A = this chain, B = another copy of it.
Amino acid sequence: MIFPATSLDLSGERFSVAYRIAAAGLEEAMARAWGICLEQTVEVPDELLADDDIRAHVVGRIESLDEVGPDRFAARISYAVETSAFELTQFLNVVFGNTAMQPGIRVLHLDLPASLRQHFPGPRFGQEGIRALVGVWDRPLLCTALKPVGLGARDLAALAYQIALGGFDLIKEDHGFSDQPFAPFTERVAACAEAIDRANGATGRRCLYVPNIAAPADRVRARAFEAKRLGAGGVMAAPGLVGWDALRQLAADDGFALPILSHPAWLGTYAIHPDQGVAHHVIFGQLPRLAGADATIFVNYGGRFAYSQEDCRGIVSGAQGEMGGLRPIFPVPSGGMTLDRLPDMAHFYGREAVFLIAGGLYARGPDLLESAREFRRVVERLG
């Protein structure tokens, strides 16, 4: 059968997705690209479509196809903005929903027109907003993570106090903290927020406390607001765990209005194989930014994860490169970093970064306050 011919009232605006496609030659690449156009939209063979607006405008459109290496092609495919229903969940679905099950296809880049940016305004704070909150303009920011899961609220607060006193700009929680009996959310956040506030009173600085709000679907928002009420200066969430749209919803909430840090947990698989999934640039750069994160945590090259400089450069460009007017957000390289590496990192990332040092801080020496001060002294010379 042929589906009923349909007339549609479309704006003509389209977003586009760049895919890298593995294929033995141009003909196969073209066939695979065309397969994406159908799979991501109508999900039927095109011979079942009438000669109508669905065929002409709803089906994805190959805007370009270029050979980029041996048996590797880059296709730019555009989709009518209306296919996204202007919902982030459905937007992601059009970008890569079923095609994620096809081997040898990787999402490289997203390009969004104004009509989508209107619905996905992105970060509320971005780099400038976070700088204004901490009052630091002339150097990279310094962040650490409260650890380990298992410690009680009072002990965590004592650590937080030392670190804030020592001069860190942000103190986030490990992404493994949720609402464990060891340190229940409310008790922990209250204790740590109070400790950091006390340290701020002593230093005259504004260190931000950033608890992790990963939670069951119906409690993410409540936990974020509870954190705010208890004195948190921002929140962290892993979109791979709570869902991308939970970040967007929170970022868009005028009653919330705190910075959001995106954490990469559960998302690593997307980027890990160079021929499939979603490129670092998108999964840790463009998507967190589109979802409204103000900073994106990822693993640095040369640490205990196998990310390359190129991977990290891709994330930085997704986080702060031109993206149709969305505010640039902070790249937050992390993972296995030490004091010695800071100058190299400053050289690589420049001033517009947040350096997340956790294990390296705790392992630095027996005196946590003195270790924190050492990091602060070094980062101040990196302005």
Contacts and interface: CB of A to CB of B under 8 A. Distances in A.
Contacts of A181: 9, 82
Nearest to A58: B150
A264 B363 CA distance: 42
A174 B43 contact: yes
Contacts of A35: 304
A102 B174 contact: no
A296 to B, nearest CB: 14
A375 B47 CA distance: 21
A223 to B, nearest CB: 11
A94 B215 CA distance: 13
Contact of A88 (B1, B58, B216, B362): B216
Oligomeric state, in number of copies? 2
B49 A148 contact: yes
Interface residues of A, number: 98
A103 B305 CA distance: 8
Contacts of A145: 43
- 10 smallest CB-CB distances across A and B, nearest first, come from A243-B243, A101-B268, A100-B268, A42-B148, A54-B150, A97-B265, A58-B150, A217-B245, A269-B277, A90-B178
Interface of A: 1, 3-4, 6, 8-9, 35, 40-45, 47-49, 53-54, 58, 82-83, 85, 87-90, 92-94, 96-103, 145, 147-152, 155, 158, 174-176, 178-182, 214-218, 220-221, 238, 240-246, 248-249, 264-273, 276-278, 299, 304-307, 358-359, 362-363, 365-368, 371
